[in-house]
Structure 1
């Protein structure tokens, strides 16, 4: 393997959601942890959007649990026994919100992605601001999330800015 080829490989994880999978670089994920719905505590945010499922205690912090599917305008279904939380590092975020947790249906799949294993898919559906693009990864459909927008929406909720925390495709 040449140095150029090695540099273009991105260590990633395919994160299984209700009806989709997210593609996230390993550096985005702080940790994958076990969880059950009982682990989620109610949020103190008044009139929180439906995608904010609550908060979970992790490493001495209270981390917001976000249903990415709802944020993107889809449906979220809680998983049973194999559910995990993907705790994501936040680049900007709000003060006191250095991480965001996204529930997964099962354990994410580790994958080495390069230009031969991924391709962008033209999406004919209505665009969501939290979806950067739809892709095919090793023959399977997936989503690359617009993490800056996800972070912005979560930060807006905790900053008490209700007009800024709504997505265009909000469904209940």
Structure 2
């Protein structure tokens, strides 16, 4: 049994696999199970969304997936063009059959982290956006834990 699969007496995992996701000037921490895939930046299909933070739609595995810019959605400036940009395909958390996935533009390759119960320390952070739930530090890196329920509901309401 691997170290990250060890469980305590009450069957709760001691560690959770997460991804440290790079954005323009901050990082997000997402549980690994919320991310279906990391894909290269690709051309987007247009959409009739009335907001600039919906970038378009991706054709991912035969499913049209709305793509968003988290920075614009949070009221920040858009990231500059970046040759390392990718999309993460996020599993919907609200079980909506019309939108089972959505994509977030990211500025590099997410890094796998094994996070223990006491590894994240909540911190005060300036510039928290509307969709940031809490700011934390992990191994000296500050990151935001997003409110994925609110993100998903906002995307659904906008489309």
- TM-score bin, normalised by smaller chain: 0.7 to 0.9
Show the 5 A alignment for 1:6-155: 7-36=13-42, 39-45=43-49, 48-92=50-94, 94-125=96-127, 127-155=128-156
TM-score by length of 2: 0.87
SS at match of 2:47: coil
- The alpha-carbon deviation at position 82 of structure 1 amounts to 1.8
Q: State the alpha-carbon separation in 1 of the partners of residues 68 and 95 from structure 2.
A: 14
Q: State the alpha-carbon separation in 2 of the partners of residues 78 and 30 from structure 1.
A: 25
Residue pair 1:85, 1:103 contacting (<8 A) in 2 also: yes
Structure 1 unaligned residues grouped into runs of 5+? 159-172
TM superposition outliers: structure 1 runs of 4+ over 3 Å: none
Q: State the alpha-carbon separation in 1 of the partners of residues 129 and 86 from structure 2.
A: 24
SS at match of 2:89: strand
Match of 1:163 in 2: none
- The alpha-carbon deviation at position 78 of structure 1 amounts to 4.4
SS at match of 2:156: helix
Residue pair 1:93, 1:151 contacting (<8 A) in 2 also: no
Q: State the alpha-carbon separation in 1 of the partners of residues 130 and 82 from structure 2.
A: 29
